[in-house]
């Protein structure tokens, strides 16, 4: 998928870009176990890859088989960073699935504009134009990855401060001072200047207000080698979430803020804040049920959105969905047995989390 028909999709279950680490994780063996059941073969890598290779001879049919097996009817993907996706090709290999997309306002817009813009006005106009173009092409949300670069303590920055920051950046001969290497992607990306990133974040918030689109904000987890996780703790968003402008926008905290799951769940009690569970399904498989219980302890049912964080291979979409449904079944079965919920209530809450809530906040 995403144009990548990798020989071994299990190598993508990594936080460091180093496939060697994958084989020493519970998530890896959990994936092997589930795929062996799917293919009716022994839980051995060679057997699984052999069965997969046979299925892959008709890739479109194989993708349909996986998505139907998992009950996947709608996808929201991000086609603008590695691996870049041609939306027509993606839809072609996922027939019967409603495919929508978001755009990263960072790598897909910010980095390019920093290189091309010779003046601050050119940068700001280019940023506005890029957001306009994305909206016209049908994005269902704007996505911000600022936490991975300059952190989630995002300040209000006036135009003069931002312009001065831009000029300082342009005068600096060694641009590597403003960059961070992303080993998973094998590329260098701009991490700063912070004041300029913060300024453009608020410009994107204004665009969300204008278009009534939600803002997705990456929180906490990512490639462990590329950032200081302490500056991506979602509690640092307090300045944003209490701001009058931001409160006009539906804000989705991506990846459940892992490992700061409790903190992220607490923030959903802001009227306009939602929690997306992507990441915890694929990378914390052994503790997935516990993570979902932690979320359900405090987050309103109406604020929890399922997500997989799948990329690179269709098996990741399949596995994340299957494991999440299994975990929810365990949680709600116990809640019904304990007399906390009725069966119909449990089914209704599960439907909210898996699809209903997303349909309310995204134009899908």
Q: What is the pLDDT of residue 81?
A: 65
For 145, how many CA atoms within 13 A lie in the half-sphere containing its CB? 23
**Token digits for 141?**
């949300």
**C-alpha pair distances (Å), 36 with each of 7, 70, 314:** 16, 15, 16
The residues, any chain, with a CB within 8 Å of residue 71's CB and separated by 6 or more, are 321, 325
pLDDT in tens, the chain (364 residues): 444 556 777 776 655 556 677 788 888 889 999 999 999 999 999 999 999 999 999 999 999 999 999 999 999 998 876 567 788 888 898 888 999 999 999 877 888 898 899 999 999 999 999 999 999 999 999 999 999 888 999 999 999 999 999 999 999 888 888 887 776 667 777 787 999 999 999 999 999 999 999 999 999 876 555 567 788 899 999 999 999 999 999 999 999 999 999 999 999 999 999 999 998 998 888 899 999 999 999 999 999 999 998 887 899 999 999 999 999 999 999 999 999 999 999 999 999 999 999 999 999 9
**Token digits for 138?**
């049908």
Between CA 360 and CA 198 the distance in angstroms is 28
Extents of the domains making up the chain: 110-361
Long-range contacts of 345-349 (CB under 8 A, 24+ apart): 349/301
**181 near 226, Cβ under 8 Å?**
yes
Q: What is the pLDDT of residue 327?
A: 97
What distance separates the 2 farthest-apart alpha carbons in the chain? Answer: 66
Helices (H), the chain: 19-22, 26-39, 45-55, 59-70, 87-93, 111-116, 120-136, 159-171, 194-211, 238-241, 261-267, 280-283, 288-296, 314-337, 343-351, 357-361
Collapsing DSSP states into helix, strand and coil, what is residue 182? Answer: strand
**258 near 220, Cβ under 8 Å?**
yes
Nearest in space to 111 (alpha carbons), one of 168, 163, 187: 187
**113 near 193, Cβ under 8 Å?**
no
CATH fit for domain 110-361, picks 3.40.1280.10, 3.30.420.40, 3.90.950.10, 3.20.20.140: 3.20.20.140
Rama region for 310: left / alpha / beta (φ>0; ψ in -120 to 50; rest) = beta
């Amino acid at each position: 998928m995403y144009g990548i028909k990798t020989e071994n999709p299990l190598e993508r279950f990594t936080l460091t870009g180093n496939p060697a680490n994958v084989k020493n994780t519970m998530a890896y063996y959990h994936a092997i176990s589930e795929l062996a059941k799917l293919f009716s073969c022994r839980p051995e890598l060679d057997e699984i890859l052999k069965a997969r290779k046979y299925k892959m001879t008709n890739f479109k049919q194989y993708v349909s088989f996986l998505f139907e097996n998992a009950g996947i009817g709608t996808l929201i993907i991000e086609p603008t960073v590695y691996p870049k996706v041609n939306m027509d090709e993606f839809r072609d290999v996922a027939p019967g699935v409603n495919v929508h997309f978001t755009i990263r306002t960072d790598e897909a817009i910010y980095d390019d504009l920093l290189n091309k813009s010779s003046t601050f006005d050119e940068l700001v106009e280019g940023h506005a134009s890029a957001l306009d173009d994305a909206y016209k092409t049908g994005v269902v949300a704007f996505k911000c990855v600022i936490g991975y670069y300059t952190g989630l303590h995002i300040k209000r920055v006036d135009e003069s401060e931002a312009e001065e920051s831009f000029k300082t950046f342009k005068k600096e001969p060694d641009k590597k001072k403003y960059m961070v290497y992303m080993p998973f992607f094998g590329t260098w990306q701009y991490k700063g200047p912070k004041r300029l990133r913060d300024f453009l974040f608020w410009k994107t918030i204004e665009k969300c207000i204008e278009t009534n689109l939600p803002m997705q904000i990456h929180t906490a987890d990512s490639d462990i080698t590329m950032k200081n996780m302490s500056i991506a703790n979602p509690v640092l968003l307090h300045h944003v979430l209490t701001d009058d402008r931001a409160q006009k926008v539906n804000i989705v905290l991506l990846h459940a803020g892992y490992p700061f799951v409790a903190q992220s769940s607490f923030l959903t009690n802001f009227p306009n804040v939602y929690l997306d569970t992507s990441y915890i399904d694929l990378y914390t498989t052994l503790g997935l049920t516990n993570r979902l219980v932690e979320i359900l302890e405090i987050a309103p049912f109406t604020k929890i959105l399922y997500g997989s964080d799948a990329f690179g291979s269709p098996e990741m979409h399949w596995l994340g969905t299957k494991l999440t449904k299994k975990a929810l079944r365990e949680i709600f079965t116990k809640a019904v047995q304990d007399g906390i919920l009725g069966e119909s209530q449990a089914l209704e809450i599960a439907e909210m989390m898996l699809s209903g809530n997303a349909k309310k906040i995204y134009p899908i």
